[in-house]
Amino acid sequence: MKYIYFLISVFTVTFLASIINPKEGFTCFLEVIPAIIGFIILAFTFKKFRFTNFTYTLILIHCIILFVGGHYTYAEVPLFDYIKEIFHQSRNNYDKVGHFAQGLVPAMIIRELFIRKKVINNKSFFNFIIVSICLAISATYEFIEWFVSLATGDGGDAFLGTQGYVWDTQSDMLFATIGAIVGLILFSRIQDKQIQKIQF
């Protein structure tokens, strides 16, 4: 439990830091609210289903990415402005980091749920189904961004974060898909080891 308390502490500190003098208050709210909702869900389900520490760590990293994007807006994260200048890029690409995580982290969450709850016994299409779900999640989030932008006008532009890039939506979903695939390739064995410790 000590490690869980550590993760909660980091989550709390980074969340509080993100809402202190954000670049745009409304955008900050929109960006951090998914992390807060996720935290509440995990807190209420903790006794019934506790994820591995590895999965919780990935979730925290994703939350921090959201908090940073919420504080600065995804188009104006300083480090990626610096990278933009060095490599002569046309836009701040921090949002692609966010969408990469949006694929990777849900993939590992879904994978652990599927394995421990024995949702899918046939392993032939196991990873394909996980990646497909992650792509569906990404597409749903793009719809949400679109609806928010339509509903709020200029107030939602920073949340949409296209930065004038015509293929922003498609590239967001591509990065989420790549993130899911990379996560499954790199982290499945690590997750399996921690799952085995819980089950045995």
Summarize pLDDT for 24-54 with one digit per residue, the tens.
998 899 999 999 999 999 999 999 999 999 9
The predicted structure's pLDDT at residue 32: 96
CA distance 197 to 200: 5
Q: Calculate the CA 81 to chain-centre distance.
A: 21
State the DSSP H helix or E strand holding residue 115, giving kind and residue range, or none if neither.
Answer: helix 94-116
Highest mean pLDDT: which range of 20-24, 59-63, 139-143: 59-63
Coil, strand, or helix at residue 170?
helix
Q: What is the distance of C-alpha 38 from the center of its chain?
A: 10
Residues 49-86: tens digit of each pLDDT: 999 999 999 999 999 999 999 999 988 999 999 999 99
pLDDT at 156 over 80: no
Q: Are 172 and 101 in contact (CB under 8 A)?
A: no
Range picked from 71-75, 142-146, 157-161, 166-170 for highest mean pLDDT: 71-75
Q: Please count the residues of the chain.
A: 200
**Max Cα-Cα span within the chain:** 54
Under the banding of pLDDT at 50, 70 and 90, the label for residue 162 is low
- C-alpha to C-alpha distances, 12 to 22, 30, 147, nearest whole angstrom: 16, 17, 29
DSSP string, 5-56: HHHHHHHHHHHHHHTSS-S-HHHHHHHHHHHHHHHHHHHHHTTT-PPPHHHH
Express the helix, strand and coil content of the chain in percent, nearest 5 each.
80, 0, 20
User: Tell me, what's the pLDDT at 153?
Assistant: 67
What distance in Å separates the CA atoms of residue 177 and residue 136, rounded to the nearest whole number?
10
Which residue range(s) make up the domain with 142? 2-199
Tally of structural domains, the chain: 1
Residue type, 157: D
In 49-119, where do the E strands start and end?
A: none
